[in-house]
Amino acid sequence: MNKQEIQKRIEALRKEIDRHRHAYHVLDAPEIADEAYDSLFEELLRLEKENPEFSSPSSPTQRVGAEPLKAFKKVRHAHQQWSFDDIFDFEGLKAWEEKTLRAISKSKIPISNKIQNSPLRDKLEAKNDEKLKANEIKSYKLDYCCEMKIDGLKMILTYENGVLVTGATRGDGAVGEDVTSNLKTIQSLPLELAEKVDATVVGECWMSKKELAKINLERTKNGEAPFANTRNAAAGSIRQLDPKIAAQRKLDCFIYDIDSLQNAKYNMQNTIEIPNTQIEELELLKKMGFKVNADHKLCKSVEEVQEFYESWTKKKDQQDYEIDGIVIKINSRELQDALGYTGKSPRWGIAYKFPAQQVTTIVEDIAVQVGRTGALTPVAHLRPVSVAGSVVSRATLHNEDEINRLDVRIGDTVVIHKAGDVIPEVVSVMKNLRNGSERRFSMPEKCPICGGPVKRQVIKKAKNQKLEAKSLDSSAAHYCTNPKCFAVELGQMIHFVSRKGFDIVGLGESIIERLMQEGIISNSADIFDLKVGDLEPLERFAERSSEKLIESIEKSKTIALEKFLYSLGIRFVGEETAVLVKDNMQNTKYHKIQTLEDIISTFPLITVEDWRSVKGIGEKSAESLVAWFSDEKNVELLQKMHEFGVRIILDAEGREIGDKLHGLTFVLTGELSGFTRDEAKDMIRREGGSVSSSVSKKTDYVLAGENAGSKYDKAVVLGVKIVDEEGFVKMLKN
């Protein structure tokens, strides 16, 4: 064969091999014997080796072609990766639906967009009768897409022009690890899609029960510890630096969500867009070549959802993969977009967990831990017992009220349960097994760490703020009231330097504890004033190790806004809430906040109502933010950080917010030539605007490229302004 014929043969072999791979690993319908498949594969491998000029990263031969890595690179997700809240019974499901309907009724999108097939739709919009609207919302029935909750490892896959370029773990939701080489070894995962599109999709990597049994048998023979469960085995395989190890473990996957989807710039076919419903989205994923779990169902009510849940509670163990519940999503993507997210999870979805595994054991002691907020948490020290695939010796008792409700005593035989990654907890006491030697437990009146007084917390009203301490002081927890308690300060400091905060490499828990014990640091700001000479006298701190730590501290002084807010350890302000503040602050009257000086001068002035206006910020988070920034000592701490050189940037890339598009909402459609859609979204957000995925009367502009689709048509009908690429660039320059 000449070179042209060889290239055609290679391309034909790749296409045929991929077709048979899809039939075998995705459709479970093989068309040829394994030997025939292997013969085709060997021919392709030989031709590519003899003709390297025709090599391709998407070739089937490249699934295990990478060299072992020295370490995984970090990758910042283009879209924040959320986790679902959990419910455990039908009452929780009904409560979630009621809460969701209330959120829909309060949303600012037009009523016609919320109630799509209502006979009162025109009447409601015409009269704008709020009472009538509330009644109609109450009677409105939501459709739900119910899917299996696979107990595996979440993965985020990015394709460019239909070819897989990056596969990453979830990580902290904003930044994950690049594990592309390992994910390529999964035979059910396409390296090249049926459509030439730019897409980011989300799914779950998992290991079958049969494969786990085979691996554990081999590990036991070799004197290695067996994997506790399929989830641990899958996660451990994906985090192997050598992709050949991952390939040997025969992982599988299901894909269930599309984060972004658009035609590649040079693809002139019809524009492809994310469908309007979750059910249609799953069908599109199948057409694109992904393996989609077939056991999903459209349910018209929570009663139907409950029936689906109960049926799978009975048959979940019959599957060859682990399932720990079902995921319930509102089927309409328009409603999903309208509902948005809380600080940590989508409002439009919930995870309905299967009953937790339960075992019995003995409570050998009850101890009290002191957290960074000063909360005292009673913890049962248990006779070690295996549950949910791991051995546990601790279980939370939550608080004194829970201990009294259970009437749990030291020496009791108790039932504990554990579901997935949830901390084990005591659920009941087997009182019939008591022999009289059991001892009652009472919460201490003094802190076990510092000896300070302990009482139920009463949150202080912030100065000059109308702050009603409803939820914060109704907690059943006991708190150490000594703000200088060593356990509290140590916990706060560890949280401050953690990976999700300032990420100071080399400054671990033991070093922080030593620095505090020696009096070298007394608060988090002191860290940034450390010198090499402060560290050298400490045991095991040579000159070079001292210099490396100081270098790490200096490097950490420039920090993203969301990581800075998280590091402060403000109650009810976790990493997701911090991201919401960063992403949505530009849509408030405080949109010019960009530096630490801005935070020091402005944040103490922000009211609860102001914080509540930030999309996704709830009442508890708002109250807590006001309380923290109204405390003069906290503001003084920020001022010290500023003096020691701490600098806030908008995000990890150092971009700052402008105001050319402040308060404007954009929707993107069609093919852009000068930049990608994600780049356009970044431009909009950097100038204070926001991006929506659906067109409504609240949309200010539709940015339309070539081959614009249905969003363009809807904008015309609603009278929304349409701007092309050239006009958009002019808006940014003016």
Active site residues: 149
Buried b (16+ CB within 10 A) or exposed e, 195-230: bbbbbbbbbbbbbbeebbeebbeeeeeeeeeebebb
CA 556 to chain centre: 24
3-state secondary structure of 637: helix
Dihedrals phi, psi of 259, to nearest 5 degrees = -80, -40
What does the block give as tokens for 693? 């995925």
How many other C-beta atoms are found inside a 10 Å radius of the C-beta of residue 70?
Answer: 6
Q: How many helices (H) and strands (E) are present in the chain, helices listed first?
A: 27, 24
Dihedrals phi, psi of 126, to nearest 5 degrees = -70, -45
Nearest to 372 by CA among 559, 564, 567: 567
Q: Which amino acid is at 574?
A: G
Nearest to 640 by CA among 530, 560, 522, 526: 526
Query: What whole-number distance in Å separates Cα of residue 270 and Cα of residue 273?
Result: 10
CA 391 to chain centre: 27
Torsional sign, CA 588, 589, 591, 597: negative
Q: Which residues have a Cβ under 8 Å from the Cβ of 105 and sit 6 or more positions away?
A: 133, 134, 137, 138
Given a contact cutoff of 8 angstroms between Cβ atoms, the answer to whether 684 and 661 are in contact is yes
DSSP element (H, E) containing 729: helix 725-733
